[in-house]
Amino acid sequence: MKSEMIRLLRESGEYKSGQELCDRFQVSRTAVWKVINQLKEEGYVIEAKQNKGYRLLESPDTMEAFEVESRMITKWAGRKVFYKKETGSTNTDCKQLAQGGQPHGTLAVADRQVKGKGRRGRGWESPAGESIYMSLLCRPDFLPDKAPMLTLVMGVSVAEAVERYTGLAAKIKWPNDIVVNGRKICGILTEMEMGLETKEIQYLVVGVGINVNNGFAGMQETGDWKAAREMAFPGELSDKATSLYLEAEKEDTKILRAPLVRYVMEAFEKNYVQFLQTLDLSLLRESYNGYLVNRNAAVKVLDPGGEYAGIAREIDDQGDLLVETKDGEVKKVYSGEVSVRGIYGYAL
Ligand code: BTN
């Protein structure tokens, strides 16, 4: 009822009388009043006027399930949300939810991760209250070799969502880092569980970390963007990573996380449907290539078989990067290297 009540108040933008809320949710006046009070305690600014009712003026920046769910307008992506204030990794939580039988589209979110996982065995810094840590459960019926492409589908979805929500120009560093003004704001880690005998996908977990308000606390403390950046991303990280807040440069404005989750889910649902039509990236390729950060720029390819230089051109239908070497040869750089982790888990 809580998420539905927030949704109703938010979507109407008008006063809703106590009676209307009672009728709608089939509960007593006291029950409505209790929920309203609870919401106020949780940081929602709700105006109550005699003879008019309640009106929602402001929502807090929380990743609680009821807040995220109250914003969702998708069919399946992110309709069911499981929140933890603190967790090891939302990818691990999501796997547990999958084992417990939760459906396609279930989303595990957290306010803080203490064992956030990055690609290639690295960690993912996950401080409390600042960023988005979420993992989406997918139960596809395509074959495992298609799975790495789903990470690119999520990449293009995050880029679209960031642009739509913040107006910042998001780019993709192939294969799936999202960057703003040349620094990383988002990483994606997809993990796959396969049937022991069948070799079919049991499920996929697409984990997304987006730096949202990192730097806000530092800015309030110092009033200096450079110092705030350095506090949020110390040392050499400050050249490589950033947050939406630091790039938006609106000193007193925190960026609400839940609406961004909604935009990502909306974009992913739309792009997933496109992906399923062809089981490759042919319908998403143009959009993806439009976001490619070093398109037509010089790149160095660190191929285990030997390093080489060239010009990055675009991705092909499989998500491989096409790099033109100086003698005009177009080489494919594969995004699909799969490193095996344990017996069942794979990092893509
Ligand atoms: C990368 O190395 O670029 C990928 C980082 C992925 C981080 C996200 S945060 C939510 C989800 N849970 C994790 O433990 N990792 C992913």
pLDDT band at 302 (very low <50, low <70, confident <90, very high): confident
Is residue 296 within 8 Å of residue 311, measured between CB atoms?
yes
What per-residue string of b and e applies to 32-44 under the rule 16 or more CB within 10 Å gives b?
Answer: beebbeebeeeeb
Least confident of 102-111, 284-293, 295-304: 295-304
Q: Is the CB of 190 under 6 A from ligand 1?
A: no
Q: Determine if ligand 1 sits within 6 Å of the CB of residue 148.
A: no
- Ligand 1 pocket residue status of 133, Cβ below 6 Å: yes
35 alpha carbon to ligand 1 midpoint, in Å? 34
C-alpha 304 to ligand 1 mean position (Å): 24
Q: How far is the CA of 118 from the centre of ligand 1 (A)?
A: 5
pLDDT bracket for residue 297 (50, 70, 90): confident
Can you list the alpha helix ranges (DSSP code H) found in the chain?
2-12, 18-25, 29-41, 65-71, 90-99, 147-166, 216-222, 225-232, 237-240, 244-248, 257-278, 285-291
Distance CA 69, CA 22 (A): 21
Helix (H, G, I), strand (E, B) or coil at 135: strand
Nearest to 134 by CA among 173, 105, 169, 164: 105
pLDDT at 7 > cutoff 80? yes
**What's the 217 CA to ligand 1 centre distance in angstroms?**
23
For 40-66, how does the pLDDT look when each residue is reduced to its tens digit (9 = 90+)? Answer: 999 999 999 998 999 999 999 999 999
pLDDT tops 50 at residue 344: no
Q: What is the mean pLDDT of residues 239-266?
A: 96
What integer pLDDT is reported at residue 197 of this predicted model? 83
- d(CA 73, CA 186) in angstroms, rounded, equals 23
d(CA 264, CA 19): 35
Q: Would the CB of 188 count as within 6 Å of ligand 1?
A: yes
Burial class of residue 100 (count of CB atoms within 10 Å of its CB; 0-12, 13-18, 19+)? exposed
Which of ligand 1's atoms lies nearest the C-alpha of 113?
A: 14
> For 92, how many CA atoms within 13 A lie in the half-sphere containing its CB?
11
Q: How many residues does the chain have?
A: 348
Closest CA to 84 of 56, 116, 57, 58: 116
Average pLDDT over residues 235-260: 95
pLDDT band per the 50, 70, 90 thresholds, residue 109:
very high
Tell me the pLDDT band of 342, cut-offs 50, 70 and 90: very low
The per-residue pLDDT for range 172-219, each reduced to its tens digit, is 998 889 999 999 999 999 999 998 888 899 999 999 999 999 999 999
Residue 328 CA to ligand 1 center (angstroms) comes to 37
Average pLDDT score over residue span 14-23: 90
225 is written with which tokens?
């963007």
What's the pLDDT at 337? 38
Residue 91 has pLDDT above 90, yes or no: yes
252: its two tokens:
């007193």
Q: Is 92 in the pocket of ligand 1 (CB under 6 A)?
A: no
Report the pLDDT value the prediction gives residue 335, as an integer from 0 to 100: 60
CA distance 323 to 225: 37
Alpha-carbon distance of 335 to 174, in angstroms, equals 8
Residues 276-292: what's their mean pLDDT? 97
Matching residue, tokens 């069919």: 75
Q: How many helices (H) and strands (E) does the chain have?
A: 12, 15
Q: Across the strands, what pairs with 330?
A: 324
d(CA 323, CA 107): 36
Ligand 1 atom with least separation from CA of 89: 14
Residue type, 122: R
Q: pLDDT at position 18, please?
A: 87
CA 240 to CA 162: how far, in whole Å? Answer: 18
Mean pLDDT along residues 262-277: 98
Cβ of residue 189 lying under 6 Å from some atom of ligand 1: yes
Query: 């660190």: which residue's tokens?
Result: 302
User: What pTM did the predictor assign?
Assistant: 0.93
Coil/strand/helix, residue 185: strand
pLDDT one-digit tens code per residue, 112-145: 999 999 998 899 999 999 999 999 999 999 999 9
Q: How far apart are CA 77 and CA 80, in angstroms?
A: 8
Burial 189-202 (b: 16+ CB within 10 A, else e): bbbbebeeeeeebe
Band of residue 250 on the pLDDT scale cut at 50, 70, 90: very high
Per-residue tokens: 53: 């009712």
